[in-house]
Amino acid sequence: MAPSALISFEFWIVFLFGLLGYCNLDLFWKLEFGYWLLFSYNKLMSIKPKPNYAFIDSQNLNLGIKSQGWKLDFGKFRQYLTTKYKVKKTYLFIGYVEGNQSLYTYLQSVGYICIFKPTLTLSKNHQTKIKGNVDAELVLHTMIQYNHFNQAVIVSGDGDFRCLIEYLVNHNKLCKIITPNKRYSSLLKKFSSYILVASPLKTKLQIKKRGIPAGNKVRLW
């Protein structure tokens, strides 16, 4: 419930209590009515608005930002989500790679709830690539948390999330779609009114002097 609605309700509670003193009613009915007002007020105050949650496709976000020549400060991005969209919980879906524990510790220390996906190591033409698609995990956890959040912020430009986004929109559960750049999937064009492109936020969110800990020799994305 909006704060203004709570203030209005509190005003009427006080007004009605004051009015009781001037009513020509038996004491019994005054007490009954007063009890009902107190019960209604306490019940209303116990109803807390649900917070917003964010669900992040880390690979899509990271590669999309890097393709523009800058690196995202994940700590700043977490704070941006909290301040701008009132996000209480931020789920980051990421492939797990041995040797990158310092990265995961950092992400958790700045407020992310990391959901790890087992990865595959693929070798081709003497090059090693780590693959860990997190699409299924992101959709699954969004629906697991569905009843716990007011609206969701989906961070990805991947068209594979179209069905999830459409469902959230139809049930008034989508707050925003944040894509790393303008080259997001054409399947998301339908939801352009919800889309925020992250590239104009470069000055606010890029790594400057400090950011993700260095020393991770394994390529994560």
| Span 125-171, pLDDT tens digits | 666 566 657 889 999 999 999 999 999 999 999 999 999 999 999 99
pLDDT at 106: 95
Q: How many CA atoms lie within 13 A of 33 on its CB side?
A: 15
Residue 196 clears pLDDT 80, i.e. is over it: yes
Q: Which residue has the higher pLDDT, 77 or 96?
A: 77
CA angle 133, 136, 137 (to 5 degrees): 90
CATH number for the domain whose boundaries are 52-205: 3.40.50.1010
What is the identity of the amino acid at 183?
R
pLDDT at 51: 95
Helical segments of 21-176, H only: 27-46, 58-66, 74-85, 101-109, 135-144, 162-170
Q: Which residue has the higher pLDDT, 102 or 120?
A: 102
Residue 88 CA to residue 64 CA, distance in Å, equals 24
pLDDT at 216: 44
Residue 57, Cβ density class (10 Å: 0-12 exposed, 13-18 middle, ≥19 buried): buried
Residue 213 CA to residue 220 CA, distance in Å, equals 13
To the question of pTM greater than 0.75 for the whole model, the response is no
What would the mean pLDDT of 177-185 be, rounded to a whole number? Answer: 95
Q: Give the β-pairing of 87-96 and 112-118.
A: parallel
pLDDT at 95: 87
| Span 45-77, pLDDT tens digits | 556 789 999 999 999 999 999 999 999 999 999
Residue 123 clears pLDDT 70, i.e. is over it: no
| Span 202-218, pLDDT tens digits | 999 999 865 455 444 33
How many angstroms separate the first and last alpha carbons of the chain?
Answer: 42
Packed helices 135-144 and 162-170: angle between N→C axes, nearest 10 degrees: 20
User: What residue spans define the domains of the chain?
Assistant: 3-46, 52-205
Kind and range of the H or E run holding 155: strand 152-155
pLDDT at 117: 87
> What dihedral angle (degrees, nearest 10) is formed by the CA atoms of 197, 74, 103, 132?
-20
pLDDT at 169: 98
| Span 16-46, pLDDT tens digits | 555 555 555 555 455 565 566 666 666 655 5
> What dihedral angle (degrees, nearest 10) is formed by the CA atoms of 129, 130, 133, 134?
-150
Query: Residue 219: which pLDDT band, with cuts at 50, 70 and 90?
Result: very low
Residue 15 CA to residue 12 CA, distance in Å, equals 5
Residue 1 clears pLDDT 50, i.e. is over it: no
Q: How far from 103 is each of 79, 89, 158, 209, 213, CA to CA, in Å?
A: 18, 19, 24, 17, 6
